Amino acid sequence: MNVVVIGSGPAGVMAAIRSAELGAQTALVTRGAFGGMAANDGPVPVRTLAYAARLMRDARQLERYGVTVSSPRLDYERLLERVRQVVAEVRDHSSLRHEIDRLGVRVHEHAGTARFGDAHTIEAGSGLRLPADRVVLCPGGASRRLGVPGSELAATHSDAWSLREVPRSLLVVGAGMTGLQVATVFHAFGARVQLVQSGPRILAAEDPEVSAAVAETLRAMGIEVREGIGTIGSLEKTAGGVRVHVSKDGVRDALEAALVVTTIGWVAETTGLDLAAAGVETDARGFVQVDDYLQTSAPHVFAAGDVLGRALIVPPALHDGYVAATNAVQGRALRRESSPDPIGSFTDPEYAHVGIREDQAPAGAFVVGRVHFGETTRTLIDGRTTGFCKIMAERGSGVQVAAVAMAGGLRVDQLARVPLSYPTYAGILARAAYRAAREIDPTLNVLEHRDSG
Protein backbone atom coordinates (compact mmCIF):
# COMPACT_ATOMS: atom_id res chain seq x y z
CA MET A 1 0.00 0.00 0.00
CA ASN A 2 1.23 3.49 -0.90
CA VAL A 3 0.41 6.23 1.62
CA VAL A 4 1.16 9.88 0.89
CA VAL A 5 1.15 12.35 3.76
CA ILE A 6 0.83 16.03 2.84
CA GLY A 7 2.41 18.36 5.39
CA SER A 8 5.28 17.91 7.84
CA GLY A 9 3.99 19.60 10.97
CA PRO A 10 3.29 17.54 14.11
CA ALA A 11 0.23 15.83 12.60
CA GLY A 12 1.96 15.01 9.32
CA VAL A 13 5.15 13.71 10.91
CA MET A 14 3.22 11.50 13.32
CA ALA A 15 1.02 10.23 10.47
CA ALA A 16 4.08 9.34 8.38
CA ILE A 17 5.74 7.54 11.29
CA ARG A 18 2.61 5.55 12.10
CA SER A 19 1.96 4.65 8.47
CA ALA A 20 5.51 3.37 8.03
CA GLU A 21 5.35 1.46 11.33
CA LEU A 22 2.31 -0.38 9.97
CA GLY A 23 4.25 -1.44 6.88
CA ALA A 24 2.95 0.99 4.26
CA GLN A 25 5.25 2.52 1.66
CA THR A 26 5.11 6.07 2.94
CA ALA A 27 5.99 9.39 1.35
CA LEU A 28 5.90 12.76 3.12
CA VAL A 29 5.47 15.85 0.94
CA THR A 30 6.03 19.31 2.37
CA ARG A 31 5.89 22.67 0.64
CA GLY A 32 8.77 24.14 2.66
CA ALA A 33 11.27 22.85 5.19
CA PHE A 34 10.64 19.74 7.25
CA GLY A 35 8.82 20.48 10.51
CA GLY A 36 5.99 22.64 9.21
CA MET A 37 4.79 25.79 10.93
CA ALA A 38 5.43 24.42 14.43
CA ALA A 39 9.16 24.09 13.88
CA ASN A 40 9.80 26.90 11.41
CA ASP A 41 7.56 29.83 12.38
CA GLY A 42 5.42 28.54 15.22
CA PRO A 43 6.12 27.27 18.75
CA VAL A 44 9.87 26.66 18.29
CA PRO A 45 10.97 30.13 17.11
CA VAL A 46 8.26 31.84 19.18
CA ARG A 47 9.40 30.08 22.36
CA THR A 48 13.00 31.04 21.60
CA LEU A 49 12.06 34.70 21.18
CA ALA A 50 9.87 34.53 24.29
CA TYR A 51 12.80 33.14 26.27
CA ALA A 52 14.95 36.05 25.13
CA ALA A 53 12.17 38.44 26.15
CA ARG A 54 12.01 36.80 29.58
CA LEU A 55 15.78 37.19 29.95
CA MET A 56 15.47 40.89 29.13
CA ARG A 57 12.79 41.38 31.78
CA ASP A 58 14.70 39.36 34.37
CA ALA A 59 17.89 41.34 33.68
CA ARG A 60 16.03 44.53 34.53
CA GLN A 61 15.24 43.07 37.97
CA LEU A 62 18.81 42.15 38.90
CA GLU A 63 19.41 45.18 41.12
CA ARG A 64 16.54 44.06 43.37
CA TYR A 65 18.72 41.07 44.23
CA GLY A 66 21.94 43.01 44.71
CA VAL A 67 23.37 42.27 41.27
CA THR A 68 24.71 45.39 39.57
CA VAL A 69 25.13 45.30 35.80
CA SER A 70 24.74 47.75 32.96
CA SER A 71 21.30 48.02 31.39
CA PRO A 72 20.58 45.11 29.04
CA ARG A 73 20.80 45.89 25.33
CA LEU A 74 19.32 43.75 22.61
CA ASP A 75 21.40 42.73 19.59
CA TYR A 76 18.44 41.68 17.48
CA GLU A 77 20.49 40.29 14.61
CA ARG A 78 22.35 37.97 16.99
CA LEU A 79 19.04 36.90 18.50
CA LEU A 80 17.67 36.05 15.05
CA GLU A 81 20.78 33.99 14.37
CA ARG A 82 20.14 32.09 17.60
CA VAL A 83 16.53 31.51 16.54
CA ARG A 84 17.73 30.11 13.20
CA GLN A 85 20.15 27.81 15.02
CA VAL A 86 17.44 26.47 17.32
CA VAL A 87 15.01 25.93 14.43
CA ALA A 88 17.67 24.04 12.47
CA GLU A 89 18.60 21.89 15.47
CA VAL A 90 14.98 20.96 16.14
CA ARG A 91 14.27 20.30 12.47
CA ASP A 92 17.35 18.19 11.83
CA HIS A 93 17.98 16.49 15.16
CA SER A 94 14.59 15.89 16.75
CA SER A 95 13.64 12.36 17.76
CA LEU A 96 10.73 12.48 15.30
CA ARG A 97 13.08 13.23 12.39
CA HIS A 98 15.31 10.33 13.43
CA GLU A 99 12.26 8.06 13.50
CA ILE A 100 11.19 9.25 10.04
CA ASP A 101 14.62 8.40 8.66
CA ARG A 102 14.87 5.08 10.51
CA LEU A 103 11.55 3.89 9.11
CA GLY A 104 12.51 4.77 5.54
CA VAL A 105 9.87 7.42 4.93
CA ARG A 106 10.59 9.22 1.65
CA VAL A 107 10.65 12.93 2.53
CA HIS A 108 10.12 15.46 -0.25
CA GLU A 109 11.06 18.86 1.19
CA HIS A 110 10.57 22.19 -0.58
CA ALA A 111 8.30 20.42 -3.06
CA GLY A 112 5.98 23.37 -3.53
CA THR A 113 2.22 23.17 -3.17
CA ALA A 114 0.92 19.61 -3.33
CA ARG A 115 -2.34 18.88 -5.16
CA PHE A 116 -4.51 16.01 -6.29
CA GLY A 117 -3.72 15.30 -9.95
CA ASP A 118 -6.57 12.82 -9.70
CA ALA A 119 -8.15 10.97 -6.81
CA HIS A 120 -5.13 8.67 -6.36
CA THR A 121 -2.22 10.82 -7.56
CA ILE A 122 -0.42 13.57 -5.66
CA GLU A 123 1.50 16.12 -7.69
CA ALA A 124 3.72 19.00 -6.61
CA GLY A 125 5.15 22.05 -8.30
CA SER A 126 8.59 20.46 -8.53
CA GLY A 127 7.33 17.91 -11.08
CA LEU A 128 6.78 15.32 -8.38
CA ARG A 129 4.11 12.67 -9.08
CA LEU A 130 3.24 10.08 -6.44
CA PRO A 131 0.70 7.24 -6.63
CA ALA A 132 -1.46 7.12 -3.51
CA ASP A 133 -3.70 4.30 -2.34
CA ARG A 134 -4.32 6.39 0.77
CA VAL A 135 -3.73 10.07 1.50
CA VAL A 136 -3.43 11.78 4.88
CA LEU A 137 -3.98 15.54 4.65
CA CYS A 138 -1.99 17.54 7.21
CA PRO A 139 -1.28 20.84 5.39
CA GLY A 140 -1.90 22.95 8.49
CA GLY A 141 -3.33 26.43 8.68
CA ALA A 142 -2.42 30.01 7.87
CA SER A 143 -3.08 33.40 9.40
CA ARG A 144 -6.41 34.93 8.43
CA ARG A 145 -6.13 38.40 6.93
CA LEU A 146 -8.43 41.36 7.37
CA GLY A 147 -10.95 41.66 4.56
CA VAL A 148 -10.87 45.46 4.43
CA PRO A 149 -9.26 48.07 2.14
CA GLY A 150 -5.54 48.36 2.86
CA SER A 151 -5.27 44.98 4.57
CA GLU A 152 -2.09 44.29 2.60
CA LEU A 153 -0.37 46.94 4.76
CA ALA A 154 -0.64 44.71 7.84
CA ALA A 155 1.80 41.94 8.67
CA THR A 156 0.82 38.52 10.03
CA HIS A 157 2.33 36.79 13.04
CA SER A 158 4.67 34.86 10.70
CA ASP A 159 5.93 38.15 9.28
CA ALA A 160 6.48 39.45 12.82
CA TRP A 161 8.78 36.57 13.75
CA SER A 162 10.95 37.24 10.70
CA LEU A 163 11.38 41.02 11.12
CA ARG A 164 14.93 42.25 10.59
CA GLU A 165 14.65 44.90 13.29
CA VAL A 166 12.43 45.79 16.23
CA PRO A 167 9.82 48.39 15.17
CA ARG A 168 9.59 51.66 17.09
CA SER A 169 5.90 51.10 17.65
CA LEU A 170 3.64 48.13 17.10
CA LEU A 171 -0.14 47.80 16.85
CA VAL A 172 -1.35 44.23 17.35
CA VAL A 173 -4.90 43.66 16.10
CA GLY A 174 -6.42 40.63 17.79
CA ALA A 175 -5.78 39.78 21.43
CA GLY A 176 -5.93 36.01 21.49
CA MET A 177 -3.05 33.68 22.24
CA THR A 178 -0.95 34.67 19.23
CA GLY A 179 -1.61 38.39 19.62
CA LEU A 180 -0.41 38.33 23.21
CA GLN A 181 2.74 36.49 22.19
CA VAL A 182 3.59 39.13 19.61
CA ALA A 183 2.74 42.00 21.97
CA THR A 184 4.69 40.79 25.00
CA VAL A 185 7.79 39.71 23.07
CA PHE A 186 8.24 42.97 21.19
CA HIS A 187 7.38 45.06 24.24
CA ALA A 188 10.26 43.37 26.06
CA PHE A 189 12.48 44.20 23.10
CA GLY A 190 11.71 47.91 23.44
CA ALA A 191 8.80 48.56 21.07
CA ARG A 192 5.89 50.75 22.14
CA VAL A 193 2.98 48.31 21.87
CA GLN A 194 -0.76 48.74 21.48
CA LEU A 195 -2.88 45.59 21.78
CA VAL A 196 -6.45 45.98 20.56
CA GLN A 197 -9.46 43.68 20.52
CA SER A 198 -12.78 44.27 18.76
CA GLY A 199 -14.66 42.25 21.37
CA PRO A 200 -15.21 43.13 25.02
CA ARG A 201 -12.13 41.39 26.45
CA ILE A 202 -8.76 39.99 25.51
CA LEU A 203 -8.29 36.21 25.52
CA ALA A 204 -11.95 35.68 24.75
CA ALA A 205 -11.48 31.89 24.74
CA GLU A 206 -10.12 31.91 28.30
CA ASP A 207 -11.72 32.17 31.71
CA PRO A 208 -12.87 35.79 32.21
CA GLU A 209 -10.86 35.93 35.44
CA VAL A 210 -7.73 35.01 33.47
CA SER A 211 -8.50 37.64 30.83
CA ALA A 212 -8.88 40.34 33.46
CA ALA A 213 -5.72 39.37 35.33
CA VAL A 214 -3.61 39.25 32.18
CA ALA A 215 -4.99 42.57 30.90
CA GLU A 216 -4.21 44.24 34.22
CA THR A 217 -0.67 42.87 34.19
CA LEU A 218 -0.03 43.95 30.59
CA ARG A 219 -1.18 47.48 31.36
CA ALA A 220 1.08 47.59 34.42
CA MET A 221 3.99 46.56 32.19
CA GLY A 222 3.32 49.49 29.86
CA ILE A 223 1.42 47.80 27.04
CA GLU A 224 -1.61 49.82 25.94
CA VAL A 225 -4.54 47.39 25.99
CA ARG A 226 -7.77 48.52 24.33
CA GLU A 227 -10.80 46.25 24.41
CA GLY A 228 -14.08 46.73 22.57
CA ILE A 229 -12.69 48.98 19.83
CA GLY A 230 -15.45 48.02 17.41
CA THR A 231 -15.11 47.38 13.69
CA ILE A 232 -12.00 47.93 11.59
CA GLY A 233 -12.93 49.79 8.42
CA SER A 234 -9.66 50.27 6.56
CA LEU A 235 -5.90 50.71 6.76
CA GLU A 236 -3.85 53.42 5.10
CA LYS A 237 -0.15 54.12 4.74
CA THR A 238 1.28 57.13 6.56
CA ALA A 239 4.69 58.79 6.61
CA GLY A 240 5.52 56.97 9.83
CA GLY A 241 3.82 53.64 9.24
CA VAL A 242 0.17 52.57 9.09
CA ARG A 243 -3.11 54.08 10.28
CA VAL A 244 -6.05 51.84 11.20
CA HIS A 245 -9.55 53.30 11.02
CA VAL A 246 -12.09 51.88 13.47
CA SER A 247 -15.67 52.69 14.37
CA LYS A 248 -18.02 51.77 17.19
CA ASP A 249 -21.63 52.86 17.61
CA GLY A 250 -21.15 55.48 14.92
CA VAL A 251 -18.04 56.96 16.56
CA ARG A 252 -14.88 56.85 14.45
CA ASP A 253 -11.32 56.61 15.69
CA ALA A 254 -7.86 56.02 14.24
CA LEU A 255 -4.88 54.10 15.59
CA GLU A 256 -1.33 54.45 14.28
CA ALA A 257 1.94 52.56 14.55
CA ALA A 258 5.12 51.93 12.60
CA LEU A 259 3.95 48.34 12.09
CA VAL A 260 0.53 46.70 12.28
CA VAL A 261 0.31 42.96 12.93
CA THR A 262 -3.00 41.11 12.62
CA THR A 263 -3.60 37.98 14.68
CA ILE A 264 -7.30 37.41 14.05
CA GLY A 265 -7.52 33.66 13.61
CA TRP A 266 -6.65 30.87 11.22
CA VAL A 267 -7.78 29.43 7.91
CA ALA A 268 -7.09 25.98 6.51
CA GLU A 269 -4.04 25.84 4.26
CA THR A 270 -5.83 24.11 1.38
CA THR A 271 -5.32 26.63 -1.42
CA GLY A 272 -4.12 24.81 -4.52
CA LEU A 273 -4.75 21.30 -3.17
CA ASP A 274 -7.69 20.78 -5.56
CA LEU A 275 -9.60 18.78 -2.97
CA ALA A 276 -12.55 18.47 -5.35
CA ALA A 277 -10.48 16.20 -7.60
CA ALA A 278 -10.50 13.63 -4.81
CA GLY A 279 -14.02 14.32 -3.59
CA VAL A 280 -12.92 15.86 -0.28
CA GLU A 281 -15.49 18.21 1.23
CA THR A 282 -14.88 21.23 3.45
CA ASP A 283 -17.15 23.25 5.71
CA ALA A 284 -18.21 26.86 5.12
CA ARG A 285 -14.95 28.11 6.64
CA GLY A 286 -12.79 25.91 4.41
CA PHE A 287 -11.78 23.36 7.04
CA VAL A 288 -11.77 19.71 5.97
CA GLN A 289 -14.71 17.70 7.30
CA VAL A 290 -14.03 14.32 8.90
CA ASP A 291 -15.85 11.72 10.97
CA ASP A 292 -14.77 10.22 14.30
CA TYR A 293 -12.18 8.13 12.45
CA LEU A 294 -10.74 11.22 10.74
CA GLN A 295 -11.96 9.92 7.39
CA THR A 296 -13.07 12.55 4.89
CA SER A 297 -15.93 12.36 2.41
CA ALA A 298 -13.47 10.55 0.12
CA PRO A 299 -13.05 7.05 1.66
CA HIS A 300 -9.33 6.84 0.84
CA VAL A 301 -8.46 10.29 2.24
CA PHE A 302 -7.95 11.06 5.92
CA ALA A 303 -7.03 14.35 7.59
CA ALA A 304 -5.45 15.59 10.81
CA GLY A 305 -4.13 18.73 12.47
CA ASP A 306 -4.97 22.39 11.95
CA VAL A 307 -6.71 21.71 8.63
CA LEU A 308 -9.63 20.39 10.71
CA GLY A 309 -10.09 23.72 12.51
CA ARG A 310 -10.22 22.12 15.95
CA ALA A 311 -7.82 22.82 18.83
CA LEU A 312 -4.90 24.37 16.93
CA ILE A 313 -2.18 23.08 19.22
CA VAL A 314 0.47 20.37 19.03
CA PRO A 315 -0.81 17.61 21.41
CA PRO A 316 -4.11 16.95 19.59
CA ALA A 317 -2.33 17.27 16.23
CA LEU A 318 0.03 14.45 17.20
CA HIS A 319 -2.89 12.34 18.41
CA ASP A 320 -4.91 12.99 15.26
CA GLY A 321 -1.96 12.17 13.01
CA TYR A 322 -1.61 8.80 14.73
CA VAL A 323 -5.33 8.03 14.45
CA ALA A 324 -5.62 9.14 10.82
CA ALA A 325 -2.65 7.05 9.69
CA THR A 326 -3.79 4.00 11.65
CA ASN A 327 -7.19 4.10 9.96
CA ALA A 328 -5.70 4.86 6.55
CA VAL A 329 -3.65 1.66 6.69
CA GLN A 330 -5.81 -0.66 8.80
CA GLY A 331 -9.31 0.54 8.01
CA ARG A 332 -11.64 2.15 10.54
CA ALA A 333 -9.79 0.65 13.48
CA LEU A 334 -9.31 3.57 15.85
CA ARG A 335 -11.76 6.24 16.92
CA ARG A 336 -10.51 9.71 17.77
CA GLU A 337 -10.64 10.20 21.53
CA SER A 338 -11.67 13.44 23.14
CA SER A 339 -9.04 14.39 25.71
CA PRO A 340 -8.51 17.37 28.03
CA ASP A 341 -5.85 19.14 26.01
CA PRO A 342 -3.82 21.72 27.96
CA ILE A 343 -3.87 25.16 26.34
CA GLY A 344 -1.50 27.99 27.18
CA SER A 345 0.76 30.63 25.74
CA PHE A 346 4.39 31.70 25.70
CA THR A 347 3.53 35.13 27.03
CA ASP A 348 4.78 37.02 30.06
CA PRO A 349 2.80 36.53 32.20
CA GLU A 350 2.11 32.99 31.06
CA TYR A 351 -1.34 31.47 31.35
CA ALA A 352 -2.76 28.01 30.79
CA HIS A 353 -5.87 25.94 31.32
CA VAL A 354 -7.07 22.40 30.87
CA GLY A 355 -10.66 21.23 30.95
CA ILE A 356 -13.85 23.17 31.51
CA ARG A 357 -13.86 26.87 32.46
CA GLU A 358 -15.68 28.10 35.55
CA ASP A 359 -18.07 30.24 33.49
CA GLN A 360 -18.94 27.19 31.35
CA ALA A 361 -19.73 24.87 34.25
CA PRO A 362 -23.32 24.04 35.27
CA ALA A 363 -24.32 26.09 38.29
CA GLY A 364 -23.61 24.26 41.53
CA ALA A 365 -22.00 21.24 39.86
CA PHE A 366 -18.41 22.19 40.66
CA VAL A 367 -16.46 23.56 43.58
CA VAL A 368 -13.50 25.88 43.07
CA GLY A 369 -10.17 26.00 44.85
CA ARG A 370 -8.30 29.23 44.22
CA VAL A 371 -4.82 30.27 45.39
CA HIS A 372 -3.06 33.50 44.48
CA PHE A 373 0.61 33.24 43.58
CA GLY A 374 1.45 35.79 46.23
CA GLU A 375 0.56 33.14 48.84
CA THR A 376 3.32 30.75 47.73
CA THR A 377 6.97 30.78 48.68
CA ARG A 378 8.55 30.31 45.26
CA THR A 379 6.76 33.27 43.68
CA LEU A 380 7.84 35.49 46.58
CA ILE A 381 11.44 34.38 46.08
CA ASP A 382 11.31 35.13 42.35
CA GLY A 383 9.31 38.34 42.70
CA ARG A 384 6.61 37.00 40.38
CA THR A 385 3.53 37.18 42.58
CA THR A 386 0.96 38.25 39.98
CA GLY A 387 -1.68 35.68 39.08
CA PHE A 388 -3.48 32.70 40.53
CA CYS A 389 -4.20 29.00 40.20
CA LYS A 390 -7.77 27.77 40.10
CA ILE A 391 -8.88 24.15 40.25
CA MET A 392 -12.45 23.01 39.66
CA ALA A 393 -13.71 19.71 40.98
CA GLU A 394 -17.00 17.93 40.49
CA ARG A 395 -18.94 18.34 43.70
CA GLY A 396 -19.98 14.69 43.75
CA SER A 397 -16.89 12.82 42.61
CA GLY A 398 -13.99 15.14 43.43
CA VAL A 399 -12.45 14.63 40.00
CA GLN A 400 -10.45 17.72 39.06
CA VAL A 401 -9.02 19.19 35.90
CA ALA A 402 -5.23 19.26 35.92
CA ALA A 403 -4.20 17.33 32.81
CA VAL A 404 -2.19 14.51 34.38
CA ALA A 405 -4.68 14.01 37.20
CA MET A 406 -7.54 14.02 34.70
CA ALA A 407 -5.85 11.40 32.55
CA GLY A 408 -5.29 9.22 35.60
CA GLY A 409 -8.74 9.74 37.08
CA LEU A 410 -7.21 11.28 40.20
CA ARG A 411 -9.59 12.73 42.78
CA VAL A 412 -8.96 16.24 43.98
CA ASP A 413 -8.14 15.07 47.52
CA GLN A 414 -5.55 12.68 46.08
CA LEU A 415 -3.92 15.51 44.17
CA ALA A 416 -3.84 17.54 47.38
CA ARG A 417 -1.76 14.77 49.00
CA VAL A 418 0.83 14.46 46.21
CA PRO A 419 4.26 15.38 47.66
CA LEU A 420 5.89 18.06 45.52
CA SER A 421 9.34 19.62 45.73
CA TYR A 422 9.65 22.81 47.76
CA PRO A 423 9.71 25.61 46.78
CA THR A 424 8.30 25.21 43.26
CA TYR A 425 5.60 26.81 41.14
CA ALA A 426 3.88 23.44 40.79
CA GLY A 427 3.16 23.43 44.50
CA ILE A 428 0.29 25.84 43.96
CA LEU A 429 -1.66 22.97 42.34
CA ALA A 430 -1.67 21.02 45.59
CA ARG A 431 -2.82 24.07 47.53
CA ALA A 432 -5.67 24.80 45.13
CA ALA A 433 -6.63 21.11 45.10
CA TYR A 434 -6.76 21.12 48.89
CA ARG A 435 -9.08 24.10 48.99
CA ALA A 436 -11.38 22.52 46.41
CA ALA A 437 -11.35 19.22 48.31
CA ARG A 438 -12.29 21.00 51.54
CA GLU A 439 -15.31 22.48 49.76
CA ILE A 440 -16.44 18.91 49.12
CA ASP A 441 -15.41 17.48 52.50
CA PRO A 442 -14.63 19.98 55.28
CA THR A 443 -13.21 17.14 57.43
CA LEU A 444 -10.47 16.31 54.93
CA ASN A 445 -7.32 15.40 56.84
CA VAL A 446 -4.70 17.24 54.79
CA LEU A 447 -2.74 19.98 56.51
CA GLU A 448 -3.06 23.23 54.56
CA HIS A 449 -0.03 24.69 56.29
CA ARG A 450 2.13 22.03 54.64
CA ASP A 451 3.85 24.38 52.21
CA SER A 452 3.97 22.71 48.78
CA GLY A 453 4.75 25.98 47.01
Binding-site residues for NAD(+) sit at: 265
Question: Which candidate, 18, 12, 10, 2, places its Cα nearest to that of 325?
Answer: 18
Numbered residues of the known binding site for FAD: 306
The phi, psi pair for 67, rounded to 5°, reads -105, 120
Q: Which residues contact 158 (CB under 8 A, 6 or more apart)?
A: 37, 41, 143
Half-sphere exposure of 395 (CA within 13 A, CB side): 7
> Is the Cβ–Cβ distance between 429 and 391 less than 8 Å?
yes
Numbered residues of the known binding site: 265, 306
Taking only Cα atoms into account, the Rg of the chain, rounded to an integer number of angstroms, comes to 24
